[in-house]
Chains A and B, each alone.
Chain A
Amino acid sequence: MANLTINGKTFTIDVEPDTPLLWAIRENVGFTGTKYGCGIAQCGACTVHVDGVAMRSCGVTVSEATGKQITTIEGLAAEGTLNKVQQAWIDHDVPQCGYCQSGMIMAVTALLKDNPKPTDQDINDAITNICRCGTFQQVREAIHAIANA
């Protein structure tokens, strides 16, 4: 058994401590917005916040995440109001297939928390998620729009 605190709520789940956080979130807790893309921390589709830091949840175990504050894509919209990244994603029609966008939005939300006005270089350094549809141009445009709002 393990206790995970996700989006402000604690979940007690029957799971082995070495289970990747990604799969505990998806299968044991049941939040499916966090996506499986590679399982080796390459693509970023599974990005969540662990104590406010963007991390690839496929590379974090349940035991490592225990006692930490975990935020998933489902936890971004406070009381139903989209956060500014989510809203900008709608305003700029960012997603194509959308599958990588949970992770992308989590990564961008973390970036903007630390660096509200990132330069192009800051974006290049911080956002390393794979998007096979190639939405990067809209991702960059939306980030700058938030920064300049």
Chain B
Amino acid sequence: MNKHVLPQLNRRAFVIGAASVGAGLAIGLDLPFGGPSVVRAADGSPEVNAWVVIRPDDTVVIRIARSEIGQGTLTGLAQLVAEELECNWSKVQTEFPTPGQNVARKRVWGDYSTGGSRGIRTSQDYVRKGGAIARVMLLQAAANEWKVPVAECAASNSVITHTASGRTTTYGKVAEAAAKLQPPADVKLKDPKDWRLIGKSVKRLDTADKTTGSVIYSIDLKLPGMLNAAIKDCPVTGGKVKSYDEAKIAGMKGVKKVVKVGDSAVAVVADTWWHAKTALDALPIVWDEGENAKVSSATIAKWLAEGLESGPAYVGNQSGDVNGALAGSAKKVEAVYSYPYQNHAAMEPLNATALYTPDKCEVWCGTQNGEAALAAVLEGSGLPADKCDVHKHLVGGGFGRRGQTDYVRQAVDIAKQMPGTPVKLLWSREEDMTHGRYHPITQCKMTAGFDAGNNLTALHMRISGQSILFSLRPEALVNGKDPATFAGLNANGEAAIGYSIPNILIEHSMRNPHIIPGFWRGVNVNHNAIYLECFIDELAHAAGQDPLAFRRKLMAQHPKHLAVLNAVSEKIGWDTPPPQGVFRGLAQFASYGTYVAGVAEISVVDGNKIKVHRMVAAIDPGYAVNPAQIERQTAGSFVYGLSALVYGGCTVKDGRIEQTNFDTYNSMRIAEMPKVETIVMPSGGFWGGVGEPTISVGAPAVLNAYFAATGKRLRSVPLRDQNISFA
């Protein structure tokens, strides 16, 4: 039975180096694939190499470096290894090696970061190689035992056959000998046409325990002697704790300690979390909220609007002479759009458990970036890498939020004040909603020009708003500019615009309010796709042309963009009218190396209620590892993106986020979910991401359908602010 188990590596088997680890853990990738001294898993089974452990009963344990946050990467990565390993898929298990083990072994498992839809596409080469090298070693071990040339041996389904004699053995029987062999310097990977497991919709490996309540997410962890902490950070980002009156809660049941966390937060530690939370709610805290308390959504909107008209801007995509072309155009069209802050609101509120002693610091958490979490443990504890580790759990939703490590650092800061006692820090939903790393806020002014023949000759997009990299990864800025803000609008690359327009200028006026932004599923494509694809729709109507035909004329030089657009149009039957009262909207976009298109069929009920009946999506990620999971990611991305479109939006008042729970930051329910049909159409030759790209087309397809239904353009999000909801 397939099963995901918590890792149990035998630490003694490793030479724990005194690796000094900086914040970025910038140690080069080294891929030793085995060798004469056998490394063993906790149960004594040999590692054939870092990716593959084989037990005598032929169970294959595949190591997964990236985090499983629901997106299915655990299963997809295992498929990649197993494809080359030629093992029995029904006996595959997986485990997460810890980030500390990765550091100790010179990053044998490479990058742990799980964001940007990179899990599979940036590790597929070396994980497949890991499987292939293990296969070669297992074959060689069998050949050695039989004293026959390895070329006469073949592997399939964990069975090795000497083709000449018909003798067979299994991986479990030769794994011990294989683990002692020198790994081959290089191996040839299979031609994609020979894949049998990659491209197959095998079931996920991590489902069974999710149906019985037996998965231990980090929120569920129990350790002997563990206490529980509830925390309040200053409601205004940038503010500080001025004072708190500990005496007021001194006698409350279960309370063990009140601790200051950094200079901006207070935590109550108690026997149970409910006691900690109850006491924290009763604790009088005085905040020094600082200057940011003057900020509101209105002041932010005004500042961003100024950026649409004036001030410096970074150019992301430019060709021709936009100003000249606009000045000489026969017709101009202009529109201003906006997109708000959004909270990730993963179902499992942020939490981490830390155990600190002067000699060691360990953390148990759900994280999208195990190595960044480890770096936070090092910084918080002040201990070196060989005395710290992070134990990764299956994650109850990430969507980008758990790529940040603020909650890990807080857990360590608390535990450090209670040496020897494991403390589980859990954020209340209210804390989670009000201390997010929010989808950045932006506005966009677009101006387009047509010539006398009704041809689009110029497009000027000026985006004004927040940069995620400015706040979270300033080292990634390029001459002060954030290239990621142009996702899907670039001239070329993995997130390129799909239209050829003779004169184009796309620029970003960076304005960074104090609300901390973050990577929120899809990241900059959420607003960029609404801006571009809704405005293109406006232009089609301004030109008196069908939105599909109008797009096609601009897409001749972009065959992959066009192919997915054609696929959804054909499937929905764009050329035939929709049912009575149903209206359609289109969108296409490329990001994370993947091409997507979507079409929505909606009705508008009572003038302000949107019923989304059906959505058809097409996705070309180059190679499709598990089509059934790609379909689920697509449908799920629409739930996430359309929830944000209609119900989402985080507003700022007195410097703080106003939405505190799902009653004010709602999420789409099953009744509101459209039927989603996904066309998975991998064209081969490249590896694109899957978790995020499709979210880009959901919202603009629905908005364009709303225009088709009502003749009204909706240019700001969320729609609830315009008294529009789901039917």
Q: Name A residues whose Cβ lies closer than 8 Å to a Cβ of B.
A: 16, 19-20, 23, 26-28, 30-40, 42-43, 45, 72-74, 76-77, 82, 86-87, 89-90, 93-102, 105, 123-125, 127-140
Structural contact, B347 and A125, CB atoms closer than 8 A:
no
A96 touches B273 (CB 8 A): no
- Residues in B with CB closer than 8 Å to A136 are 635, 639, 668-670, 673
- What are the 10 tightest A-B residue pairs by CB atom distance, in nearest-first order? A33-B213, A134-B639, A97-B70, A99-B396, A98-B210, A134-B636, A124-B671, A73-B213, A96-B70, A32-B220
In the complex, the answer to whether B69 meets A97 with C-beta atoms within 8 Å is yes
Which residue of chain B is the closest to A27 with respect to CB atoms?
Answer: B272
- Residue-wise interface mask of B (645-674) relative to A, using a CB-CB cutoff of 8 A (1 in contact, 0 not): 000000000000000011100011111010
Contact of A43 with B396 in the complex, beta carbons under 8 Å: no
Closest to B274 in A: A23
Within 8 A of A (CB), among B675-709: 675-676
B429 near A135 with CB under 8 A, answer: no
> In the complex, how many angstroms separate the beta carbon of B572 from the nearest chain A beta carbon?
17
**B670 touching A127 by the CB < 8 A rule?**
yes
B632/A138 in contact, CB under 8 A: yes
- From B272, B395, B670, residue with most partner A Cβ within 10 Å: B670
Contact residues in A for B208 (Cβ distance below 8 Å): 90
Question: Chain A nearest CB: distance from B618 CB in Å?
Answer: 17
B670 pairs with A45, CB closer than 8 A: no
Knowing A89-B207, A125-B671, the reply to whether A135 touches B347 (Cβ < 8 A) is no
Contact for B635 among A42, A90, A95, A137, CB less than 8 A:
A137
A139: B residues at CB distance < 8 A:
670
CB < 8 Å neighbour of A19 from B220, B274, B628: B274
Check B71 for interface membership: any CB of A closer than 8 A: yes
A32 to B394, alpha carbons, bound, how many Å?
14
Nearest CB on B from A11, distance (A):
15
What secondary structure prevails in chain B residues at the interface with A?
loop
Q: Which chain A residue lies CB-closest to B228? A: A27
Cα A86 to Cα B214 in complex, Å, equals 12
Q: Is the CB of B212 within 8 A of A42?
A: no
Q: Is B176 an interface residue (CB 8 A)?
A: no
What sequence of 0s and 1s flags, for each residue 423-450 of chain B, a beta carbon within 8 Å of any chain A beta carbon?
0001011000000000000000000000
Nearest chain B residue, comparing its CB with the CB of A134: B639
B638 cross-chain contacts in A, Cβ below 8 A: 134
Interface: B640 (CB within 8 A):
yes
When distances are taken between beta carbons in the complex, the residues of chain B under 8 Å from A127 are 669-670
Does B212 contact A73, Cβ atoms closer than 8 Å?
yes
The verdict on B349 contacting chain A, using a C-beta distance below 8 Å, is yes
Which of A23, A32, A73, A82 contacts B216, CB < 8 Å?
A: A32
Distance (Å) between the CB of B676 and the closest chain A CB?
A: 6
> B346 in the interface, Cβ–Cβ < 8 Å?
yes
B72: A residues at CB distance < 8 A: 96
Q: How far is the CB of B1 from chain A (nearest CB, A)?
A: 11
> What is the distance, in angstroms, from B27's C-beta to the closest C-beta of chain A?
30
Instruction: Tell whether, in the assembled complex, residue A133 and residue B70 are in contact, meaning their CB atoms are under 8 Å apart.
Output: yes
Which of under 10, 10 to 19, 20 to 34, or 35 or more describes the interface residues of B?
Answer: 35 or more
B residues lining the A interface (CB < 8 Å): 69-72, 203-204, 206-217, 219-220, 222, 228, 253, 272-274, 345-349, 394-399, 426, 428-429, 628, 632, 635-640, 643, 661-663, 667-671, 673, 675-676
User: How many Å from the CB of B346 to the closest CB on chain A?
Assistant: 6
A77 and B212 in contact, given A124-B670, A130-B347 (Cβ under 8 angstroms): yes
Known: A38-B429, A42-B662, A93-B203. A132 touches B274 (CB 8 A): no
Count of CB-CB pairs between chains A and B under 8 Å? 179
Distance of B520 from chain A, by nearest CB (Å): 12
| Assembled-state Cα–Cα distance A87/B212 (Å) | 10
Q: Which residues of chain B come closer than 8 Å to A36, judged between CB atoms?
A: 219, 349, 426, 429
Known: A130-B667, A132-B667, A135-B636. A82 touches B673 (CB 8 A): no
CB neighbours (8 Å) of A95 from chain B are: 70, 204, 206-207, 210-211
CB-CB < 8 A to B426: which residues of A? Answer: 36
A-B contact pairs, 19 of them (CB 8 A): A23-B272, A32-B220, A33-B214, A36-B219, A72-B213, A76-B212, A77-B212, A90-B203, A93-B628, A95-B70, A96-B632, A97-B346, A101-B211, A124-B670, A124-B671, A131-B347, A131-B639, A132-B346, A134-B668
List of B residues within 8 angstroms of A33 by Cβ: 212-214
| Residues in chain B near residue A105, CB distance under 8 A | 211
Inter-subunit contact B222/A130 (CB<8 Å):
no
Enumerate chain A residues within 8 angstroms of B395, measured Cβ to Cβ: 97
Partner of A43, one of B211, B217, B272, B662: B662
Give the residues in chain A near B69, CB-CB below 8 Å.
97
Residues of chain B with a CB closer than 8 A to A140's CB: 670, 673
A137 partner, pick from B207, B210, B676, beta carbons under 8 A? B676
**B397 proximity list for chain A (CB < 8 A):** 97, 99, 132-133
Q: Which of A40, A77, A87 is within 8 Å of B663, CB to CB?
A: A40
Q: Which residues of B contact A31 (CB under 8 A)?
A: 213
Assess A98 versus B206: contact at CB under 8 Å? Given A38-B429, A43-B347. yes
Q: How far is the CB of B398 from chain A (nearest CB, A)?
A: 8
> How far apart sit A127 and B676, CA to CA, in the bound complex (Å)?
19
Instruction: Give the distance in Å from the alpha carbon of A136 to the alpha carbon of B632 in the complex.
Output: 10
Nearest chain A CB to B115 CB, angstrom units? 15
Are B673 and A137 in contact, CB atoms less than 8 angstroms apart?
yes
CB distance from B519 to the nearest CB of A (A): 16
Q: A28 — nearest CB in chain B belongs to which residue?
A: B272
Name the A residues within 8 Å of B429 (CB-CB): 36-40
A residues less than 8 Å from B253 (CB atoms): 16
CA distance in complex: A35, B398 (Å) = 16
CB distance from A97 to the nearest CB of B (A): 3
Q: Is the CB of A32 within 8 A of B213?
A: yes
Contacts of A43 in B (CB 8 A): 347, 662, 667
A residues within 8 A CB of B213?
31-34, 72-74, 102
Is B662's CB under 8 angstroms from A97's CB? no
Q: How far is the CB of A41 from chain B (nearest CB, A)?
A: 9
Q: Which residues of B contact A26 (CB under 8 A)?
A: 220
Note all chain A residues with C-beta closer than 8 A to B345.
132
Residues in A neighbouring B222, C-beta threshold 8 A: 30, 32
**Is A23 a contact partner of B663 (Cβ separation < 8 A)?**
no
Residues of chain A within 8 A of B274, CB atoms compared: 19-20, 23, 27
**A-side contacts of B643, CB under 8 Å:** 132
- Assuming A127-B670, A133-B397, A137-B676, is B662 touching A38 (CB within 8 A)? yes
CA distance A105 to B209 in the complex (A): 13
Bound CA–CA A38/B669 (angstroms): 15
Contact B669 A96 (CB under 8 A): no
* CA gap between A38 and B441 in the complex, in Å: 25
Contact among A86, A135, A138 with B211 in the assembled complex (CB-CB below 8 Å): A86
Point out the residues of chain B lying under 8 angstroms from A125, CB to CB.
671
User: How far apart sit A96 and B639, CA to CA, in the bound complex (Å)?
Assistant: 13
Q: Which residues of A contact B349 (CB under 8 A)?
A: 36-37
